[in-house]
Structure 1
Amino acid sequence: MAPFLFLFRFVCVSVWILLGLLTELAVFPALGRARRRRVVRGWSRGLMRLCGVRVRRMGVPVERGAVLWVANHVSWVDIFVLNSVRTTSFVAKSDIRRWPVIGLLVAWAGTLFIDRRHRHAVRDAGRQMRGCFDQGDAVGLFPEGTTTDGSDVLPFHAGLFDAAVQAGVPTQPVALRFLRRGRRAPELAFVGEQTLVANLWFLLSAWGVSVECDFLAPIPAADGLTRAELSRRTQAAIGEAVRGVAA
């Protein structure tokens, strides 16, 4: 049944992506900022349903006002999983922008791209992040800098935490756990030398896929942490939450 399920979902997802791109071109210019963000959130929810991914919200997300969401990074779907909860401007590597179709979609969702080859990349990204905070937006950050199989977290890069420190906004750690029929599903992670096509096959042909979004206690700006301290604290919180689920 897997090939038939993959084909059915692939067709549905392809049509949904086409509708999203057409919406960006034809409808977005006529919409205000708030309505655009509602469209992105609704579209992301639809994409996850068509991919067969159930998003399970746990904890209490900060849904109003400026906030930095810090999450572990498992797959290309992470951006859309979190956007289905609240429209979020993510900081991502510029390489993603060149991915076929997916690059267009994450750009449409308001992603802030960072090219680490440039000397001032972190400073420029921080400036964009502060601009989002000034408008009361959520900004998403994957500080590992790469994806993992979701069983643990890699050391966090602290540089971009400075934008939240300087803007005086809270930071909320988010632990993402990919499950299949209630058990850990490392095969769904987009890691290593795996191609996007191969990852799509695993995702779209699988039954019982869910992603637990565990929104942990926000860290208020009033705690006065440095960017390094904030990085270590969020890494410890997410790591504990990720490791806390039985394999």
Structure 2
Amino acid sequence: MRAWLVIVPVVLVTLVGIPLQWLSLALRLPTRRTLPVLYHRIVLALVGVRVRVVGAPAAVRPLLILANHASWLDIPVLGGRLPLCFVAKSEVARWPGIGLLAKLQRTIFVDRSSRTATGRVAGEMAARMNDGDPVVLFAEGTSSDGNRVLPFRSALIGAARLSLGEAAGPAATIQPLAIAYVGFAGLPLGRAGRPRLAWYGDMDLAPHLMEVLRRGGVEVELRFGETLAAGGRKAAAQEAERAVRALLAQALTGRPGSGISCGI
């Protein structure tokens, strides 16, 4: 019953939001950035997601945020914090419903099977960052079980920063970010329970989605790290990976930090 009590208002909010965001994009209105933030916050409130933030997004621009990836919930959790753009695999654009929402979010799609796609995607990332939008790259290239950080891929990191340089703009500042799922259905999550919230591997989306909607009570911690010094693509990827691993470990072990708790 709870799942349907969540689904109905989410669908209604989505149906109202789609034409508003489409119009905002078509006319390049400032609301093209702010409407997705409002939408994600409403969805998080309806689903029952509580977010604790430690640190803050860097104010400097252009900004490239490198994060770990554990669940479809990562999108509304991050999208509800500030206006930003995501980088996603091209298959997402073809998913019913979700693909449309991703396009309205101004997501940048990358075809990982194409060797020529990196340059095009990097150019899009550079254009968004030069326009003032932080870009979020899930640098592992896939999602994990929420307990660990997979190796970061360096290709898009280096290509995006190179594209910024070719555009005669400043190099992008890199900020590491850890997304940690620490509670579910009113109970703290340990190593064995955390994969219940993670969506990874060959898991089907619909059953996982319904389980989350049925239970609610999701607690997430975002830990923003210090910005990283400029360097080559491999060095930048390795340094960001180490930082995200450390931030995730701190969040999962409950190490103290100056954070702000909120209901969204």
Same fold (TM over 0.5): yes
Q: Counterpart of 2:158 in 1: which secondary structure? A: helix
- Counterpart amino acid of 1:242? L
Query: Could you tell me how far apart the structure 1 residues matched to 2:125 and 2:119 are?
Result: 10
Match of 1:12 among 9, 18, 37: 9
Q: Partner residue of 2:138?
A: 142
Q: Is the 8 A contact 2:118 2:159 kept in 1?
A: no
Q: Does 1:102 align with 2:98?
A: yes
Q: Does 1:51 align with 2:58?
A: no
- Please state how far the C-alpha of 1:63 moved relative to its aligned partner: 4.2
Q: Partner residue of 1:73?
A: 69
Q: Partner residue of 2:205?
A: 196
RMSD (CA atoms): 1.8
Distance 1:138-1:163 versus aligned 2 partners, 3 A rule: farther
Match of 1:246 among 240, 253, 259: 253
Q: Partner residue of 2:168?
A: none
Query: Could you tell me how far apart the structure 2 residues matched to 1:72 and 1:199 are?
Result: 19
Query: Could you tell me how far apart the structure 1 residues matched to 2:215 and 2:60 are?
Result: 34
Query: Could you tell me how far apart the structure 2 residues matched to 1:207 and 1:107 are?
Result: 27
- Please state how far the C-alpha of 1:30 moved relative to its aligned partner: 4.3
Query: Could you tell me how far apart the structure 1 residues matched to 2:14 and 2:160 are?
Result: 32
Q: Counterpart of 2:155 in 1: which secondary structure? A: coil
Query: Could you tell me how far apart the structure 2 residues matched to 1:65 and 1:35 are?
Result: 20
Pairing 1:194-233 to 2, within 5 Å after superposition: 194-219=203-228, 223-233=229-239
Alignment deviations for residues 59-83 of structure 1 (CA, whole Å, 9 cap, x no partner): 1212453200111011122122111
Query: Could you tell me how far apart the structure 2 residues matched to 1:63 and 1:19 are?
Result: 31
Query: Could you tell me how far apart the structure 2 residues matched to 1:132 and 1:163 are?
Result: 14
Number of matched pairs:
240
Q: Is the 8 A contact 1:79 1:106 kept in 2?
A: no
Alignment deviations for residues 170-224 of structure 1 (CA, whole Å, 9 cap, x no partner): 11111001122332432011112221111111211123212211111111xxx33
Distance 1:224-1:191 versus aligned 2 partners, 3 A rule: closer
Q: Partner residue of 1:116?
A: 112
Q: Is the 8 A contact 1:152 1:239 kept in 2?
A: yes
- Please state how far the C-alpha of 1:20 moved relative to its aligned partner: 2.2
- Counterpart amino acid of 1:108? L
Query: Could you tell me how far apart the structure 2 residues matched to 1:19 and 1:190 are?
Result: 28
- Counterpart amino acid of 2:246? E
Match of 2:179 among 170, 176, 179: 176
Unaligned runs of 5+ in 1: none
Structure 1 stretch displaced more, 193-202 or 161-170: 161-170
Q: Is the 8 A contact 2:21 2:31 kept in 1?
A: no
Distance 1:42-1:169 versus aligned 2 partners, 3 A rule: same
Q: Partner residue of 2:21?
A: 24
Q: Is the 8 A contact 2:47 2:213 kept in 1?
A: yes
Q: Is the 8 A contact 1:164 1:170 kept in 2?
A: no
Q: Counterpart of 2:223 in 1: which secondary structure? A: strand
Q: Counterpart of 2:57 in 1: which secondary structure? A: coil
- TM-score of the aligned structures, taking structure 2 as reference length: 0.85
Query: Could you tell me how far apart the structure 1 residues matched to 2:218 and 2:196 are?
Result: 11
Q: Is the 8 A contact 1:40 1:83 kept in 2?
A: yes
Query: Could you tell me how far apart the structure 1 residues matched to 2:28 and 2:154 are?
Result: 36
Q: Is the 8 A contact 2:87 2:109 kept in 1?
A: yes
Distance 1:27-1:119 versus aligned 2 partners, 3 A rule: closer
Alignment deviations for residues 108-138 of structure 1 (CA, whole Å, 9 cap, x no partner): 1111000122221111111111111211210
